[in-house]
Structure 1
Amino acid sequence: MSLMNTIRNTIVPVHKEGYPFVAAFFVGSLVLGWIWDPLFWVGLILTLWCAYFFRDPERVTPQDEDLVISPADGRVSSIVHITPPAELGLGTETMLRISVFMNVFNCHVNRAPMRGRIRDIVYSEGAFLNAELDKASTDNERNSLVIETAKGDIGVVQIAGLVARRIVCWSREAENLEAGERFGLIRFGSRLDVFLPEGAEPRVSVGQTAIAGETVLAEFNGSRGPVTSRRT
């Protein structure tokens, strides 16, 4: 049984959005191999990387309406109080924004940070700046979801980056989402912003690694106060 568990944990399903890319990489490998045999193995390695990029693992999500769960795998790149983008319709007061930056080796399936109903989905054209830059929140191409939750409306923004050129969102307005439920993905590296109303306290630190559907980014009605951190 231990061998079977190891195999199951190693072989992660590929999301269907990745099938055309994996197939294209494999066909490219065959073409390269026809030109020169060693190039086939280079192409095969790239094909395996592509399958790894589009992996879609199962996650164990905490079910607590006071918790805000990370919508993306990656590194917490920013925790600030800032006015949300106008297209979200969340007002002009500052909100807690927690950003998670995804590199090309992170899993890119995006998940709902809280249970709720999608009030609005707004796509905005823009540039393809480095997604780690603060101005990427307003200048880059992005897709924004406003979710009505028990704690108020929250914003979830998929932001394209230097490499990412395709934002995918398969959820629709008026759809209900559970915390940790998949709603979209971004191809080849980018960033997710979560805008939270008053009462949310961060439970992560800048530089910390987040796991989509599992890591608690913030908490409402928490009595512990802001967390501190140290490098270990």
Structure 2
Amino acid sequence: MTIHKEGYKSIAIATLIFTILNLLSFFYISASAPVVSWIIFIVLLGLLLFIISFFRLPNRQMTYGDNLVICPADGKVVVIEEVTDEEYFKGRRLQVSIFMSPANVHVNRNPIAGEVLYSQYHKGKYLVAWHPKSSTENERHSVVLKKGNTEILVKQIAGAVAKRIVNYLRPGMQVKQNEELGFIKFGSRVDVLLPVGTKVNVELNQAVQGGVTVLATLS
């Protein structure tokens, strides 16, 4: 396991705060209230370890397949339904949504290989990620990947806590399946919009792994 590059700055700041607060606790609290000083140390250490774990990048055996759509994110499947996409397709699509808790790995990956047709950031609200309107009203970044005659939209959505979406794709790029698409910090959601009629290989409330679990099979 390694640490993702998006975490270097956050971990450095968290480590600095951890060090400063514990030094202050040692010099001003430990002599008169050693128990309180130890509690402060344990709580701050727990928070630091949580932040480090959030940016973890585990080694995995990725799944590949020309007709497979691989999960772009870790988390739990919270939506499988037909929707009307007003942003790009202007028509009906099959939406599969993955909720990412703060405990999940937060790197996002390309579900298919192909050409990037569209990449657009949208400012928005910070509703909780499982809110029905989070797909259209929250801060988000949408990309469309094309492979053959199939176009798939992947939408990174900020949640109530996550307020920074990083996306690495630009129109015209040729990308490989499971390469990094981007990163969302501290809890969020990823929507995948598929052609109607696509065979979905996951179920509601199923735990999935980005780059590993087969989300759908293309015809």
Q: TM-score, normalised by structure 2?
A: 0.90
Pick aligned residue for 2:183 from 182, 185, 197: 185
Once the two structures are TM-superposed, the CA of residue 107 in structure 1 deviates from its matched residue by 0.3
- More off after superposition, 204-213 vs 53-62: 53-62
Task: Give the corresponding residue for 1:50.
Answer: 51
Q: Distance in 1 between matches of 2:64 and 2:151?
A: 18
Report the Cα distance in structure 1 between the residues aligned to 2:200 and 2:70, rounded to whole angstroms: 11
Q: What 5-or-longer segments of structure 1 have no aligned partner? A: 1-11, 222-232
Match of 1:106 in 2: 104
- Assess if the C-alpha contact under 8 Å between 1:53 and 1:107 holds in 2: yes
1:146 counterpart residue number: 144
Cα deviation per residue 1:178-210 (whole Å; 9 max; x = unaligned)? 111111010000000000113411111000001
User: Given that residues 109 and 182 in structure 1 are in contact (C-alpha distance below 8 angstroms), is that contact kept between their aligned partners in structure 2?
Assistant: yes
Match of 1:65 in 2: 66
The alpha-carbon deviation at position 47 of structure 1 amounts to: 1.5
- CA distance in 2 between counterparts of 1:66 and 1:153 reads 13
Who is 2:25 aligned against? 36
- Retained in 2: the 8 A contact 1:126–1:139? yes
Structure 1 residues 128-163: Cα deviation after superposition (integer angstroms, max 9, x where no partner): 001101111111110000111124111000000100
RMSD value, Cα = 1.3
Instruction: Determine which of 9, 24, 27 is the counterpart of 2:16.
Output: 27
Conserved 8 A contact 1:26-1:44: no
TM-score, normalised to structure 1, is 0.86
Measured in 2, the distance between the counterparts of 1:116 and 1:199 equals 21
Taking the aligned partners of 2:44 and 2:149, their CA distance within structure 1 comes to 48
What secondary structure is seen at the aligned counterpart in 1 of 2:72? coil
Encode CA deviations 1:6-34: one digit per residue, 9 max, x unaligned.
Answer: xxxxxx20011101111111111111111
How many percent of aligned residue pairs carry the same amino acid?
40
* Matched AA of 1:32: L
Which structure: greater strand fraction?
2
Q: 2:120 aligns with which of 119, 122, 125?
A: 122
Unmatched tracts of structure 2, length 5 or more: 27-37
